[in-house]
Amino acid sequence: MPQPFNQPTQLPDAWRQTPLTVVIPTFNEAENLAAISEAVLGLHLPGLRLLIVDDNSPDGTGQIADELAAHFNRNGGARMSVLHRVGKGGLGTAYVAGMTQALAEGAEFVVQMDADFSHSPDYIPAMLGVILSTGADVVIGSRYVPGGSLDEGWSWWRRFLSSWANLYSRTLLGIRVRDMTAGFKIWRKSALLEIGLGSIRSNGYIFQVEMAFLCERLGFRIIEVPIHFEDRRIGQSKMDIPVKLESAWRVWELAWRHRGRRRGTEGAFPDAKEGDVLRNA
């Protein structure tokens, strides 16, 4: 479904040079990887780099990623890189590792998105334009603001579960972000540093909830822009029922863990401090 926000975006030349890294975690995404890499690196954003975080996928995604990186870097550039982890460690730790590396390598902005085309890369220039023009800390590609939409193929049950998960976590945590489990975001470097990625403990969907919760707690400027969310094109979901159930009770746990967290305070863990990302880099 065409969305106005998805139309080709004209950015000033200087903005197109912005050092921006797109982090995509992968587990068994062999069929999606070439197409998503081409789509992301084909955006007319010369400052954009792609970082794949693969968890030793049994279907060979990691090797395909290495081959693609060799192809895209063939002229001596560093447009694409791959972070290989030893085994399936979950979405949250994959993002923490990927974002940490992206910042260490000089990114001023970090995009997080899925490999399966649920998040159209065509939105990236517009999201970059919004964060640069507004000075926001984070821009969320949202299904639940006016203009946002879900795949027409989603059953009523899936819609119900998704909206229930949102309502549940928003109510419990007392926050206003509409799409709490959104996985498509662009972050300002300073926001990730202030969060202190070392203080994040969640995996699965709850990772998205924890990050959104911290954004509000820390008083960040958050903008939700509408996206159309497509169902994954090929491959299988990794978010099974146990992951979803775990997310439900973990909302309570993260509310407790970050209970004292406000702007200027350190992470709830004694080992997590402002500037963690730099220390870990």
Ligand X SMILES: Nc1nc2c(ncn2[C@@H]2O[C@H](COP(=O)(O)OP(=O)(O)OP(=O)(O)O)[C@@H](O)[C@H]2O)c(=O)[nH]1
Contact residues: ligand X, CB under 6 A: 25-27, 29, 53-55, 88-91, 94, 114-116, 118, 232, 237-239
The residue behind tokens 């998960």 is 165
Q: Which of 29, 54, 55, 114 binds Mg ion (CB under 5 A)?
A: 114
CB of 114 to Mg ion, least distance (A): 4
C-beta of 9 vs 208, nearer to Mg ion: 208
C-beta of 116 vs 179, nearer to Mg ion: 116
Q: Which residue is nearest to Mg ion (CB)?
A: 114
Q: How far is CA 280 from the centre of its chain?
A: 20
- Which of Mg ion, ligand X, none does residue 173 bind (CB under 5 to 8 Å by kind)? none
Q: How many helices (H) and strands (E) does the chain have?
A: 10, 9
The sign of the CA dihedral 132, 135, 138, 143 is: negative
Amino acid at 92: G
* CA–CA separation, 146 and 150 (whole Å): 12
Instruction: Kindly indicate which of the ranges 17-25, 112-120, 140-148, 197-205 contains the residues binding Mg ion, using the contact rule CB under 5 A.
Output: 112-120
H or E stretch including 185?
Answer: strand 185-188
Nearest to 253 by CA among 218, 204, 188: 204
- Which of ligand X, Mg ion, none does residue 224 bind (CB under 5 to 8 Å by kind)? none
Instruction: Kindly indicate which of the ranges 61-69, 211-219, 229-237, 243-251 contains the residues binding Mg ion, using the contact rule CB under 5 A.
Output: 229-237
C-beta of 36 vs 214, nearer to ligand X: 36
CB of 56 to ligand X, least distance (A): 9
Instruction: Kindly indicate which of the ranges 109-117, 121-129, 164-172, 223-231 contains the residues binding Mg ion, using the contact rule CB under 5 A.
Output: 109-117
The sign of the CA dihedral 99, 103, 104, 106 is: positive
CB of 238 to Mg ion, least distance (A): 8
The sign of the CA dihedral 22, 28, 29, 30 is: positive
C-beta of 104 vs 161, nearer to Mg ion: 161
Q: How far is CA 223 from the centre of its chain?
A: 15
165 is written with which tokens? Answer: 């998960």
C-beta of 84 vs 238, nearer to Mg ion: 238
- Strands laid side by side in the 20-26 sheet: 80-84, 48-54, 20-26, 109-112, 185-188, 138-142, 222-226
Instruction: Check: CB of residue 29 under 8 Å from CB of residue 61.
Output: yes
C-beta of 20 vs 23, nearer to ligand X: 23
Q: Which of 9, 118, 166, 199 binds Mg ion (CB under 5 A)?
A: 118
Asked if residue 29 binds Mg ion (CB under 5 A), the reply is no
Q: Which of 116, 137, 230, 276 binds Mg ion (CB under 5 A)?
A: 116
C-beta of 75 vs 237, nearer to ligand X: 237
Where along the sequence are the contacts to Mg ion (CB under 5 A)? 114, 116, 118, 232
